[in-house]
């Protein structure tokens, strides 16, 4: 539910930014993404949006890794197809939960900070977040 609210805020911000006059050109987002740092974007030490929840995210990833190893073991042991598919579904759901947690942290930290700064950095962050949301929806 928190992610849905953040997506609504992101969409509203996109609509607001689209209605404002533009006096600058957009740069392409670099392949490594836009880094959110303690001194602003592109400078200093990198501060990622999930740094407060890093241990929780790592725990979830370890759990998903264990599920995938279990699936591998099930296939090696010729386990019934439906049982394997059930576990694949559970592992997929676990990874989706990690993705949603990361997205939630990204919207609440990096995108919110960039929006406060405004300008081309905010526009790039919003485009980057929109592209990430689109990838999650497609998967």
Q: Contact, 57 vs 102, CB < 8 A? A: yes
pLDDT tens digits, 71-101: 999 999 999 999 999 999 999 999 999 999 8
DSSP string, 87-127: HHHHHHHHHHHHHHHHHHHHIIIIIHHHHHH-HHHHHHHHH
Q: Contact, 10 vs 126, CB < 8 A? A: yes
Determine the Cα–Cα distance for residues 115 and 6; give it in Å rounded to an integer. 13
In CATH, what is the architecture of 2-138?
Up-down Bundle (1.20)
**130 pLDDT higher than 60:** yes
Q: What is the pTM of this model?
A: 0.62
pLDDT tens digits, 28-73: 445 555 455 444 444 455 567 777 788 999 999 999 999 999 999 9
Determine the Cα–Cα distance for residues 100 and 3; give it in Å rounded to an integer. 7
Q: Would you say how long the chain is, in residues?
A: 139
Q: Contact, 36 vs 49, CB < 8 A? A: yes
In terms of pLDDT, which residue wins out, 64 or 111?
Answer: 64
């Amino acid at each position: 539910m928190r992610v849905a609210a953040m997506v609504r805020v992101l969409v509203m911000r996109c609509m607001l930014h689209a209605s404002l006059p533009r006096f600058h050109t957009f740069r392409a987002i670099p392949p490594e993404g836009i880094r959110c740092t303690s001194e602003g974007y592109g400078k200093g030490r990198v501060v990622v949006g999930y740094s407060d929840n890093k241990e929780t995210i790592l725990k979830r990833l370890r759990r998903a890794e264990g599920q995938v190893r279990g699936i591998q073991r099930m296939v090696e042991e010729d386990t019934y197809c439906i049982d394997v598919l059930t576990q694949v579904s559970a592992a997929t759901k676990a990874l989706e939960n990690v993705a949603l947690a990361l997205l939630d942290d990204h919207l609440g930290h990096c995108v919110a900070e960039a929006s406060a700064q405004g300008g081309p950095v905010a526009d790039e962050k919003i485009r980057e977040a929109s592209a990430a949301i689109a990838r999650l929806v497609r998967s």
